[in-house]
Amino acid sequence: MLYRFISTFFTIGLLCSTYIPAQETQEIAAQKDGKKEIPKEEVVTTSHRVTIDGKDVSYQTTVGTQLLHDAQGTPKASIFYVAYTKDNPGEIRKRPITFCFNGGPGSSAIWLHLGILGPKRVDMDHEGKTAKQPYHLIDNHYSLLDVTDLVFIDPVSTGYSRAVPGEDAKQFHGVEKDVQSVADFIRLYVTRNERWESPKFLAGESYGTTRAAGLALELHDNHYLFLDGIMLISSVLNFQTIHFSTGNDLPYILFLPTYTATALYHNKLDADLQEDFKKTLAEVEEFAFGEYAQALMYGDNLNSAKREEILDKLTRYTGLSREYLDQTNLRIYIFRFAKELLRSERRTIGRFDSRLKGIDSDLCSDVFEFDPSFDNIVGAFTATFNNYIRKDLNWKRDEEYQIIADVQPWDYSTAQNKFLDVTEKLRDVMNKNTMLDVFVASGYYDLATPYFATEYTFSHLELDPTFRNHLTMESYEGGHMMYLYQPSLIKLKNDLAQFIKRRLEKNTQ
């Protein structure tokens, strides 16, 4: 199957190798007199205040679990969530609510939660490269809570979400299974909290964008829950655009502008290219879709003169040596680029954020040993969340919060013998729900889900021309989590808030 490849290809947690069985602590806790008990639903509510955009916002935080049942009423899973609801919102049916999740598959919602959307965020330096020590949270003056209520969802096996004792967690580990379980959670949450008439949005990051596309259609077709908008951050909908494999030249083309952006950041290009970032990227994008794409399509039939010309331009646009590029057969694999660009400095670069540098022990290998941009943040996010959830939000449990869970093998059976592509699901739900708007955010230094691959995907969405104004796309300084860079945090918050406000204005027209 094409999608049972190494875990480093998806999202923020996939470079972590440690896994504690998802049900282990719950099953131990549930054991009583030799019998397994079904976990009870729990809810803890606390009150807080934060200043957002210069205005005081009071809100309630609800930390809790919801049980998911099958059609026969048998409990199958306990889903953990953290919800933020603004006090005195006025007419509740006019107050938006946004369901948020990260990707992986196997990642908890911690990154969107404590990175940009929630009322607290990890204190990072201005560049978003280093968390300030000792690690701590600060009030997030750029939270989205001023314009929408927020519900952060941890899919089964991530965070504190678990299959109930006696149930196999694998029944939730797959493209369609995951979508169905998250849809069940949302339907139940909306029902219990009387939010059916509220404007409803999804916010997903990385594989969370894959989930969001399928989830929008699942909610629409099977629960008749119509969304107002979807916010996709560091998007991947068509996996052919990011999967380097024999016979698939598309990623080599689509990653090239990010290689250039990275080389620009590290001052590895000629002076004339360093002068104007946007101009240089536009030049490389034209080359990528034109001469470079055509050269790769020719394969071994590319004539020697044209090959020499392409080699010259690749050298100019990537900062890699001509000899090295010749050895790659004009095809630059992402992990080789991450190892090669700064080899003369004995440094590697990050995959999630190519601005960051790492140190490998094996200088002879052709791929990096670890992603420095992941290790740069995971400790800070883990420490601050565990303290915050227990001390501030009063959720006092001893089991481990699974920042990253090993959910492999993930079930890609719906994409057997082909690349997973959920663009048709997004197009389908946009055709059916003609009021649905979509916002897409990408980072220039993201080597996990490159901005040019995202642009390619959405330019091939085949939307009806009358729906194309329902799509908004923006690119930002920074990497996969562009919001760690403070100027991009501010811009992205403003863009997301305006996206929601514009969508709500349509309801009054």
The answer to whether 3 and 410 are in contact (CB under 8 A) is: yes
The answer to whether 466 and 459 are in contact (CB under 8 A) is: no
**CATH node for 7-240+377-506:** 3.40.50.1820
The answer to whether 138 and 125 are in contact (CB under 8 A) is: no
Sign, CA torsion 17/22/28/34:
negative
The answer to whether the pTM exceeds 0.85 is yes
**Residue 188, number of CB atoms within 10 A of its CB:** 16
Q: Where are the beta strands (DSSP E) in 1-54?
A: 31-32, 35-36, 43-52
Q: How confident is the model at residue 421 (pLDDT cuts 50, 70, 90)?
A: very high
* Whole-number Å distance between alpha carbons of 112 and 182: 17
Distance of CA 67 to the CA centre of its chain: 25
- Return the minimum-mean-pLDDT range out of 5-19, 114-128, 368-382: 5-19
What is the tens place of the pLDDT at every residue in 246-260? 999 999 999 999 999
pLDDT at res. 12: 37
Q: How confident is the model at residue 366 (pLDDT cuts 50, 70, 90)?
A: confident
| pLDDT for residue 10 is more than 60 | no
* Whole-number Å distance between alpha carbons of 13 and 355: 19
> For the chain, what is the mean pLDDT?
92
- Return the minimum-mean-pLDDT range out of 125-134, 403-412, 494-503: 125-134
What is the tens place of the pLDDT at every residue in 431-481? 999 999 999 999 999 999 999 999 999 999 999 999 999 999 999 999 999
pLDDT at res. 20: 31
Question: What tokens appear for 174 in the block?
Answer: 């797959």
Q: Does a cis peptide bond (omega within 30 degrees of 0) precede residue 21? A: no
- CATH 3.40.50.1820 domain position(s) in the chain: 7-240+377-506
* Whole-number Å distance between alpha carbons of 364 and 222: 53
pLDDT at res. 23: 39
Exposed, middle or buried, 4 (CB in 10 Å: 0-12/13-18/19+)?
exposed
Mean pLDDT of 303-318: 97
The answer to whether 255 and 452 are in contact (CB under 8 A) is: yes
Q: How confident is the model at residue 17 (pLDDT cuts 50, 70, 90)?
A: very low
| pLDDT for residue 332 is more than 90 | yes
pLDDT at res. 6: 34
What is the tens place of the pLDDT at every residue in 26-81? 443 444 444 568 889 999 999 999 999 999 999 999 999 999 999 999 999 999 99
| pLDDT for residue 85 is more than 70 | yes
Question: What tokens appear for 95 in the block?
Answer: 């107050």
**Looking at the DSSP assignment, which residues form a beta bridge with residue 421?**
238
| pLDDT for residue 16 is more than 80 | no
The answer to whether 231 and 100 are in contact (CB under 8 A) is: no
What is the tens place of the pLDDT at every residue in 50-64? 999 999 999 999 999
Question: What tokens appear for 290 in the block?
Answer: 């034109």
pLDDT at res. 73: 92
Mean pLDDT of 4-25: 35
Residue-by-residue DSSP string for 129-185: S-B-SS--EEE-TT-STTTSEEEEEE-TTSBT-EEPTTS-GGGG-BHHHHHHHHHHH
- Return the minimum-mean-pLDDT range out of 21-35, 153-167, 362-376: 21-35
Residue closest to 15 by CA, chosen among 484, 406, 346: 406
pLDDT at res. 24: 40
Looking only at the bridges linking them, the beta strands covering 55-69 and 43-52 are: antiparallel
What is the CA angle 411-412-417, rounded to 5? 140
**Looking at the DSSP assignment, which residues form a beta bridge with residue 35?**
32
pLDDT at res. 195: 98
Sign, CA torsion 109/112/115/121:
negative
| pLDDT for residue 2 is more than 80 | no
